[in-house]
Structure 1
Amino acid sequence: MRLGILGETRAWRDGGGEVPLGGPARRALLALLLVRPGEVVSADRLAEEIDPDGALSAHALQSQVSRLRTALGSAAVIERAGAGYRIVVPHDDVDACRFERLAREGRAALREGDAGRAVALLREALELWRGPALSDLSESETAQVAAVRLEEQRLAALEDRIEGELRLGGHRLLVPELRELVGRHPLRERLTGLLMRALFAEGGQAEALVVFEQTRRHLADELGADPSAELVTLHRELLSADPSPSPAAPPAQLTTFVGRAEEVAEVAELLWVARLVTLIGPGGVGKTRLSVEVAAVAADDVCFVELAALRDGAGLPQALLSAFGLRENGLHLEVGGQTPVDRLIAALSDRMLLLVLDNCEHLVEEVAMLAARLLAACPRLRVLASSREPLGIIGENLWHVRPLDDAAAVQLFTDRARAVRRAFAADPATVRRVCAALDDLPLAIELAAARLRTLDIDDLAERLHDQLGIAARGSRTADERHRTLRSVVAWSWDLLSEPEQRAAQRFTVFAGGATAEAARPVCGADGETLESLVDKSLLEVVGGRYRMLETIRAYGAERLDAAGERESARRAHVRHHLELVRTAEPHLRQAEQLEWLAALAAEHANLLAAVRWAVEAAQVETALQLLASASTYLWIRGTSASVAPQAIALLDAMVGDAPPAGLGEEYATCVLLAASGAAGRAVWQRHRSTAEKALAAAWSGAQPGRYPVGLLLWMMRNAGEADPQGAFALVSSQRDCSEPWVRAVAQYVSAFGRLRERDHAWAERTFAAAAEGFRAIGDRWGTALALDALAGLAAARDDHAEAIALTDEAITLTEQLGALEDSADLLVNRGDHLVGADLAAARADYAKAADLARRAGSSTYLAAALRGLGDIALLEQDLAAAERLYAEAVERIDPHWVKSLGNRARALAGLGVVAEARGDHAAARARYQEVAESATVIDAPTPEALRLLGLPESLVEAVSRL
């Protein structure tokens, strides 16, 4: 049995079913006994705490104890002890005790320097919390003291977890969470210090110093105290430190760089005069390491994209979007129109940046086409590529990466040998003979040097000679060098034990590296075997994740095929990641969503690989479950388009258009994912009706469906259709659902239905209830949606102060989610609320929104910002600027996306006003007619429909004159 007081007092059987405890008095009794399980609580104290008014007699207390015993059964024993009672239960069965143990172990691991283990333990501890501790005993003095103690431990564990994740390099996703925590606890100096460190790691040195100053003032005003010595020391370090490199920088290297210093300088110099440089050479010659070193000196702003994990060119634009930290779609589902490449061009159009594309050889045609397009459209962009063959496009400069010279090869071997045998010393001639046998290829040298842990240099030289059949020779062709490297990999492989070989070959199914938790079940290996592979240079550990060099992966994949285990390994890979997304999905709609978004983002490449394999292997049921379980993550992160091709292929592979038995909801979710891609419109039209019936069936019973986010997305996808009422009715029908998140969604959708019926007061109350519902469970995504709708209603009744306050709150939430596009959208909305009262502030919001949209590569959000700037130009009677801005906005806006209807209508109306001011009444009338046609998506083109599109009264009047 499991017992819980971290939230409402509850009990669960081992099988998962909840134990009915009875009324408030019985829950309070159990909670008081569980504060310190095993310790006696006097009967008088129990009676007083359960009923402070003194109405609970000793007999009544004994009766409550008896009923509680019956409810709990034999799994938890309540004993009479002297003048009181105690509960006898294993401490780990009580969530508070388990939390305290895990928090202690996590803190100990953090002190010992094991950040990965610490984070895992602390996450497990924090996940036990379901709400405020001992919430059933709000008036109990004993409970209040215990709750304060537990809440303090919870906050300390949260700080420990954040510190651990900072040590693992997770600063980017921690900044929004830390901002929120510091806002709630402005006097808690450890949180301030963690936020300062995270900001500094992101390159935000100035922001970190501002945070220190704000905390210093809070401490002085509230406590009359100065910051602690630790915080002051951190402040001094920040003042004297350089900002950290860009988050898109190349991976940090764990070993010394040997033998190519002049080459680095020459390639860096070449990049200043040539915008495309390709490093070419055989596998293992050191192209990747050279590109890393060149990037470090050639540019301040670098984006490093590792392409080895991509199986085909279809995922190339998405890989670049991910490397830039860009979402593929925003909060409101940008549909159709703009492609990922368009978004990349928008993001890079005026940015001075070095883009490093590593391991291009298997995608050389696709990389060449994309690089050519980006370079043509982005004049300040430079590209450094590495490949075994040229890209073959105009303007490409080739740099042939050669094997190391004799002296550098010997130095590299010696350095790596001393890493495994500190006292290594050998005859230079013998070392030279070994390096020559390896064709002076850096990767081959490193693999061979790793063997000195168990071999001496003479034995190594002899084995290499026997294995390769070569001695010191002169230069060879690239193909021969590649064969030499393959022989060294094979030789290293053959020296592995059978369990090590099996683990290494099964590891090749991972597309983006793996955590130890993922590698163990997929590879069928324990931690010791994996660490042994690291020791032998077959695996490496980067950022707490195992990864395998591509040359070794290619050889291991061949061995996996030869062993006939590829399907087994892939099934294990899919099984692990299906379980991961199933576990994560409910947390993505709760307060822990930032942590789980980060965890799934680290596995994004593996998730795509799992989906691709399941679809290619015609594992329809598995593929549908995987897509549906991952859909919440994909939509919140804005990466749903990355699986759209697989979703389309899966739908095409099904027999007929009917969903498989028992998988109707998964099928409907797959249809939504397929429709999120640029080629998904036809699929949507074919499957929409069947998918709606399947979704309705899944949510028509007493039990809620399995994938609640699909309901919200179904309404949003259907809102722009000719007849969206079925979608609205389906979602609105869930107002009494037992799932809190679904109830909030139903309220949100119901409010839109009432807006169509002109019942603004009811709609506003319902949007507010939805916002509170989302906020209560900690979902920032849903809360931002509801707040945006409330802000629009406030503006409609001319309460712009309220609209601005609501939009400010929504912007804070989208910033926490890292959603540049959504923040841009909300900034435009805030500019619209400000434009009548503070033109300068509105202009600043529109300009900032345009900047964010360009960085995010979002043409539609950029169009909205341009429309706002056009409004300002029109107010200032600058007709030429207004016309130019409105025309560019209309050109960029996707006319098929429901969210863009208002901005498109306002830009068209603005062009009409400009034409009218110039006396061109025919052109004005044509523009107003286009606005009226836009309004028919909402209703007849009445003034009310025009106002719902966001048109101000002056434009409503102009259009209504039709």
Structure 2
Amino acid sequence: MRILGPVEVCGPHGRAELTGARQRSIVAVLALRAGTPVPVDRLVDVLWGEDPPRTAVRSLHSHVARVRQALADCGLPGALVTKPGGYQLDASVDAEVFGRTRDLGLWRGEPLAGTELFGWGRAEADRLREQRLAALEAHWGERLDRPDAVEELERLVAGHPTRERLVGLLMRALHQDGRHADALEVFRRLRQRLADELGVDPGPALTALHTAILRRDPALHSARPAQLPARAGHFTGRVAEFAALADLPPIVVVSGVAGVGKTTFAVEWARRVAGLFPDGQVFLDLQRLTPAQALTEMLHGLGVPADRVPADPAALYRTLLHGKRVLILLDDVRRARDVLPLVPGDQGNLLLITSRDTLSALGTRHAVHTVNLDLLSGSEAHDLLTGILGEQRVGAEPGATAELVVHCGRLPLALRIAAARLAIRPGRRIADLVRELTRNDPLDVLTVDGDDRTVRTVFASAHRTLSPQAARLFRVLGEHPGASFPADLADAMGPGLDELVTSHLVSEMGNGRYALHDLIRLFARQSGDLGDGVERLLDRYLTIAHAAGEVLNPRHDLVVRERSDDLPFGADRVEVLAYLDAERDNVLHVIRLAAREGLHRETWQLAYLLTSYFEARGNWAARVEQCEHAVRAARALGDRRAEAEMLRGQGIALQMTSRIAEAMVVQREALALVREAGDLRGEARLHNNIANAHSELREFDRALESYRAAMDVHGAVGDEVGVALARRNLGYTYVRMGRPELAAPPLFAALDTFRAEDNRRLEAATLMTLGNAYHQLADLEPALRCFGDALAISREITDHRFEADALIGLGITQLALGDPAVAGKSLTDALAVCRTLGDGHREASALRRLAEAELAMNDLAAAREHLGAALQARTQAPDGFEEAQVHRALAGLEGRCGRWTPAARHLAQAVSLFTSCRRS
């Protein structure tokens, strides 16, 4: 689409036949907003003005239809699309290209020629004319020494006699051509015209130029500086960052982590916009310059001889820049105070700064636009490697290339160094470099002979500027093994977090969490003596875990610690769980760290103190490994009681991951240890856990025997909650046995105890078991109430495991009541919670029950999909009885589809599994 002159559209089949000014006007205004819907009322306003005819909308639709046909005829079908309430043009437009490139060759005459526009349409034409004039000024500002400069500028001034920027350029061109009197006459004519027509004088910039010409100031003949460094080869990405600078803010700070490409970005953008600053471009590396030295260097760059630098260089600096358009690039600024004297006095110039620091203090005095450069995206990193190494080489090893991107952490400097190492050895495979990075210290590998700018050296330069406190905190945080950490953890380790963030050695992730880039973490670990940093890190996690356990379940009292006043949460269970949810992925890493460092006490205590969290949230696979580390640590200490407790925890985790036989082994090991120690309370708990395992294996007689033993021992030590828990589990087992009539007495007795003790979590568990008992008795309304009450409590205390169980029970009951749609909603919600928990057993159960609801709604495709997923989930969480139920449901599904052979196969598999379960 072309609107910088007569409006016209050229497509693959030639030029579009636009008949009349109205059709051209429609194309023009839609092109002005290309890619954006324009409402019908806005189109009516611009096409007919303030008093449109009553038929305007109908007429608009008619014209749009004709324009759409004309576009289709020239090979652009679909370019004009209807949007809710308006229309949108999707096409390349010369005005948009000009806005990005300032290419004057795109202009063919008056903008929007051949149209009849009102209101904002005319304003847009004026805007385009202004853009063209600004581009012409920039163009001739760089070409004042051309032979035709005076002639072209005289023509432009004749058309715009009061435009002071053009007049100033003409005066400069005449002066440089030796026509000093003519230059002064141009100024006199402008001053006279402004006085006669507007009653004003020329502006200070033009007046200063007039004075300089009168004095024959030699600075007027100084060469325009052109000091920008060369572009980096194969620049890629940063599209959004460039777009954010489209309006040319007068002060830009480019900030980011060391090695992220701040200077590369700044030079690339400066090169792109250099044409808009015809008075020159200055570059200074401020890394080793004082502010005074930087000012002197800047004056030299602007043409001031060394012997003419005054005692107050800042004043001369601002004077020289007044009324000019100069781009100033200051690289590697350390502090805001270093750059304050270099801020130009007016906004016609551009000050572009790169710094590892965010220079927030600069923003308190000036309007600053900050560009925070992030790591490259995966695709951008791939494109950078492709640009350097070539498509053929990168395409031959896609897997190794992806691994190289990961090893370099998507850090541009690391990627460029890695690519340079490969480029100098064309026969070397990318996989060979990846292998070298894997086997050796990446900071040693990411170097190139003859270039002292390595990943390690740029990190070291940032590290050298830190205060002692921040440097100490940096080393400690380097040992943190997780992907991110909370602010309170860093604060507990000592002061300096804000300084590390400002220096971009630590990145703010949002939600009060922070992280170190992988390569920066490696550098931090190598940057000095850590002292007791690991012990302090672990002590903080122990403090948090202990305080959380006191809120979640104070019965876990084997570890005694003083409560800290410096906690990130209070006594609210929901708040505690939310904090630990954010730290969930870190916990296993921290326990691994403690085990690796041989800190046995911290290893088992941290695993023990997190017991209550995992009871509420699941994630049992990680819990298995935690307990394995803890058991080994307790054995290394010779602490039999701790060993027994962590074996018990390991057994629970194994059982929750459907590894029942292994769970039974470790629970019996723990039972032997507590009996040896005379720990009756521990013995009672283990009887209960062993009974649970027997129940899951459908060894019901053994389960009942162990529950009775648990109740006896709990009663002997006066643990009423323990007795109630064994009763609740006993009732659960009666339900699994298909004897719901026996379940009610122990369940109601347990419920009374839990309510008396205000134990909401176990109250919810008991209500769910009662719901299952009522369901088996076909008493569905009480079952519905029990599951609903259990769900409300589970959500109140944010116990996701019980929430999933309650939703499954609710869905089963709703299905039995003949409401499969409502049941499907409950079971879909249950499935989402199960997947959050990472609980394969519950996920498989939810999938099977959801399929049953879908079968009831005759949604056979969805049922087939979910039953297949249930079978797949059972490979990770085996349960013969549940798997048999899935095969039975699949048999029924295939039968309904008339697929008798698959139906018979599934039915045979179900019978085989049921038989196997009964035998075992």
TM-score under structure 2 length normalisation: 0.45
TM-score under structure 1 length normalisation: 0.43
| Structure number, greater radius of gyration | 2
